[in-house]
Amino acid sequence: MYRFLARRREPPPIGPAGDDAELLAAVAAGRTEALRLLHQRHAPWIRGRLARRCADPDTVDDAIQDTFVAVWRGAHRYRAGEGEVAAWIWPIAIRRLISTLRRTGPAPPATPYDEARLVTESAEDAVLVGVEHGDLGTAVARLSPELRAAIQATVLDGLTVKEAARLLGIPEGTVKTRVMRAKARLRGYLA
């Protein structure tokens, strides 16, 4: 009986090789070293993805900080059956970004898409678009930046209209009309 209890109390070993779900379980048990590993593993891509939605690096860093504090407090809510840990963290991150933006004021314009420095689209890139999206990729490329941003926020990031409005710094009604127009255009391109 005692040995059973002792074994239960002994924290499971975690290391850089541990899988995300195990790390998150250790975070739920209050172990900061597990959170550190998760941060090391996930902060870089979250930063990259948030930076595509907000050009201010300080805001992105604040959002990342809030995200991992939220992960620390909410790790017990993760269920292994719900899918990957990365897919669990991302909605937290994008919503933290939105609340950071609400605190600091409207979103700075997203990183201007620099045509001059852009490497010409290689055959490989074209294949990638084909693999991931097929004709949809070309159709999305033909959308205007505003319509694309609206689609990205509501469809790819899975935000509500309200959240998308806050992220893009435009009224909710505008988000709705842009999403409708973008969908109509895409339907037209793909027809």
8 Å CB contact between 64 and 22: no
Shortest Cβ 104–another protein spacing (Å): 16
- 39-68 residues near another protein, rule: CB under 8 A: 39-45, 47-49, 51-52, 61, 64-65, 68
Q: Which two tokens stand for residue 113?
A: 């898409």
Which of the stretches 98-106, 135-143, 159-167, 171-179 binds another protein when contact is defined by CB under 8 A?
135-143
- Sequence letter at residue 90: W
Q: Counting every residue, how long is the chain?
A: 191
Of residues 10 and 124, the one with the C-beta less far from another protein: 124
144 makes contact with another protein (CB under 8 A): no
8 Å CB contact between 174 and 165: yes
Distance (Å, whole) CA 115 – CA 120: 9
Q: Which two tokens stand for residue 53?
A: 């939605």
Distance (Å, whole) CA 28 – CA 75: 5
8 Å CB contact between 46 and 93: yes
35 makes contact with another protein (CB under 8 A): yes
Question: Residue 51: which residues within 8 A CB-CB, separation 6 or more?
Answer: 57, 60, 111
Of residues 51 and 92, the one with the C-beta less far from another protein: 51
189 makes contact with another protein (CB under 8 A): no
17 makes contact with another protein (CB under 8 A): no
- 71-130 residues near another protein, rule: CB under 8 A: 72, 84, 86-87, 90, 111, 113-114, 117-119, 121, 124-125, 128-129
Distance (Å, whole) CA 138 – CA 130: 9
Given the rule CB under 8 A, which residues bind another protein? 20, 32, 35-36, 39-45, 47-49, 51-52, 61, 64-65, 68-69, 72, 84, 86-87, 90, 111, 113-114, 117-119, 121, 124-125, 128-129, 131-133, 137-138, 140-141, 145, 148, 152, 156
